[in-house]
């Protein structure tokens, strides 16, 4: 399994970016998959996630500070996860990582991480 992020850039506050996470090894729908971020000097934090297709309940979730501004989605045909980020704020500046979680039939899981993409929001 291989995850590769792209789309990070320098953008002004109020601007938009769309991050992509290309998935190889299995369908993007197979995983509980989402986005994390890590700002300088801070711990990595969860941003958003979407359930695997077979999950019950199936849901999409967001960190409170990004609700209404970020949208997570999947393109199954291209096996890609997206994070649309609108109305960006300087506090969104971080390296953004894609993570996929693969559960087996016993409930045991393995996490797969991408290498990260830098998002910088200037004020």
Asked whether 121 and 93 are in contact (CB, 8 A), the reply is: yes
Give the number of other CB atoms < 10 A from CB of residue 120: 15
How far is the C-alpha of 74 from the C-alpha of 82, rounded, in Å? 6
Number of residues that this document lists for the chain: 123
Taking only the tens of pLDDT, the chain with its 123 residues reads: 899 999 999 999 999 999 999 999 999 999 999 999 999 999 999 999 999 888 888 899 999 999 999 999 999 999 999 999 999 999 999 999 999 999 888 989 999 999 999 999 999
pLDDT at 105: 87
Q: Cα-Cα-Cα-Cα dihedral of 77, 55, 97, 67, to 10°?
A: 100
Identify which of 39, 37, 30 has the alpha carbon closest to the alpha carbon of residue 100. Answer: 30
pLDDT at 2: 94
End-to-end CA distance of the chain: 37
Identify which of 63, 68, 27, 61 has the alpha carbon closest to the alpha carbon of residue 47. Answer: 63
Whole-number Cα distances in Å, 38 to 33, 52, 55, 79 = 17, 24, 27, 24
How far is the C-alpha of 5 from the C-alpha of 99, rounded, in Å? 10
């Amino acid at each position: 399994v291989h995850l590769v992020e792209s789309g990070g850039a320098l953008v002004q506050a109020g601007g938009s970016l769309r991050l992509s996470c290309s998935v190889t090894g299995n369908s993007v729908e197979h995983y509980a998959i989402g986005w994390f971020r890590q700002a300088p000097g801070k711990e990595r934090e969860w941003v958003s996630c979407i359930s695997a297709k077979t999950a019950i309940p199936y849901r999409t979730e967001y960190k409170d500070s990004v609700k209404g501004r970020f949208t997570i989605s999947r393109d199954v045909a291209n096996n890609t996860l997206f994070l649309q980020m609108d109305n960006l704020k300087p506090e969104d500046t971080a390296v953004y990582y894609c993570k996929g979680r693969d559960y087996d039939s016993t409930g045991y899981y393995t996490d797969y991480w991408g290498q990260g993409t830098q998002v910088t929001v200037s004020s």
